[in-house]
Structure 1
Amino acid sequence: MDVFDGVPDAIIVDILNKVGDVRTLLRCSSLSKRFNSLVPQTESLILRPDQVGTTESQPDSPLSNILKSVHGLCSLFTKPAKPIPTTSLSPNIPSKILSPFDRIKNLGVELPGGDASLENGAAVKWKAEYGETLQTCVVFAFRSASTVSPSPGSSDGESDAEFVAGLKTRVVWTISALIAASTRHFLMSEVVKEHEEMESLVIRDMGGEGTLVMNSEGLREFRKIEAARDGEVEDERVEKNRSVVPSVRMSMRHAPSLKLESSICLESATLVIVRPSERYSDVGDDELATEAFAGNCMYGEAVVALLKCRKNAIEMNSF
Structure 2
Amino acid sequence: MKPFHNICNSNHTNKTCLPQVSQHTVDQVLKNFHNIQNLWIELPAADLCTEDGVVLKWKAEFGSTLQNCIILGGNRIDLKPVTEQGLMLEDNRSIPESFHTNGELKLRVVWIISSLIAASTRHYLLEPIIRVQPTLKTPVVTDVDGQGTLCTSSEQLREFKEKPLAASAPLQRTQVPASNMNLRYAPYLELPEGIELQGATLVAIKPSGDGSSTSKEEVEAFVCEAFDGPFEAAVKTLVKRRTHVLELNGF
For residue 43 of structure 2, the aligned residue among 80, 95, 111 is 111
Q: Tell whether the 8 Å contact from 1:154 to 1:257 is kept in structure 2 after alignment.
A: no
Distance 1:24-1:210 versus aligned 2 partners, 3 A rule: closer
* Cα deviation digits, residues 20-46 of structure 1 (max 9, x gap): 565777957xxxxxxxxxxxxxxxxxx
**Which residue pairs with 1:315 in the alignment?**
247
How much does 1:264 deviate?
1.6
Q: Alpha carbon RMSD of aligned pairs, Å?
A: 2.8
Q: Tell whether the 8 Å contact from 1:158 to 1:256 is kept in structure 2 after alignment.
A: no
Runs of at least 5 residues in structure 1 that lack an aligned partner in the other structure: 1-16, 29-72, 79-91, 230-234
Asked if residue 277 in structure 1 is aligned to residue 208 in structure 2, the reply is: yes
For residue 147 of structure 2, the aligned residue among 209, 220, 224 is 209
Q: What is the identity percentage for the equivalent residue pairs of Structure 1 and Structure 2?
A: 34
Whole-angstrom distance in 2 between the partners of 1:152 and 1:292: 26
Aligned ranges for residues 52-63 of structure 1 at < 5 Å?
none
**Which residue pairs with 1:64 in the alignment?**
none
TM-score by length of 2: 0.84
Aligned ranges for residues 176-195 of structure 1 at < 5 Å?
176-195=114-133
What is the total number of aligned residue pairs between the two structures? 236
* Cα deviation digits, residues 198-237 of structure 1 (max 9, x gap): 11101111100011111111111111123xx7xxxxx751
**Which residue pairs with 2:111 in the alignment?**
173
Write 1 or 2 for the structure with the bigger share of strand: 2
Aligned partner letter, 1:118: T
Distance 1:152-1:211 versus aligned 2 partners, 3 A rule: closer
Distance 1:21-1:313 versus aligned 2 partners, 3 A rule: closer
Runs of at least 5 residues in structure 2 that lack an aligned partner in the other structure: 11-17
Q: Tell whether the 8 Å contact from 1:137 to 1:273 is kept in structure 2 after alignment.
A: yes
The structure having more radius of gyration, on CA atoms, is 1
For residue 305 of structure 1, the aligned residue among 237, 240, 248 is 237
Asked if residue 155 in structure 1 is aligned to residue 91 in structure 2, the reply is: yes
How much does 1:110 deviate?
0.4
Q: Tell whether the 8 Å contact from 2:94 to 2:241 is kept in structure 1 after alignment.
A: no
Aligned partner letter, 2:185: H
Distance 1:121-1:277 versus aligned 2 partners, 3 A rule: same
* Cα deviation digits, residues 135-173 of structure 1 (max 9, x gap): 101111111111346999653645542221311111111
TM-score by length of 1: 0.67
For residue 263 of structure 1, the aligned residue among 181, 189, 194 is 194
Q: Tell whether the 8 Å contact from 1:254 to 1:306 is kept in structure 2 after alignment.
A: yes
Moved more, 154-163 or 244-253: 154-163
Could you say what secondary structure the match of 1:189 adopts?
Answer: helix
The higher-RCO structure (CA 8 Å, 6+ apart) is: 2
Distance 1:129-1:21 versus aligned 2 partners, 3 A rule: closer
**Which residue pairs with 1:250 in the alignment?**
181
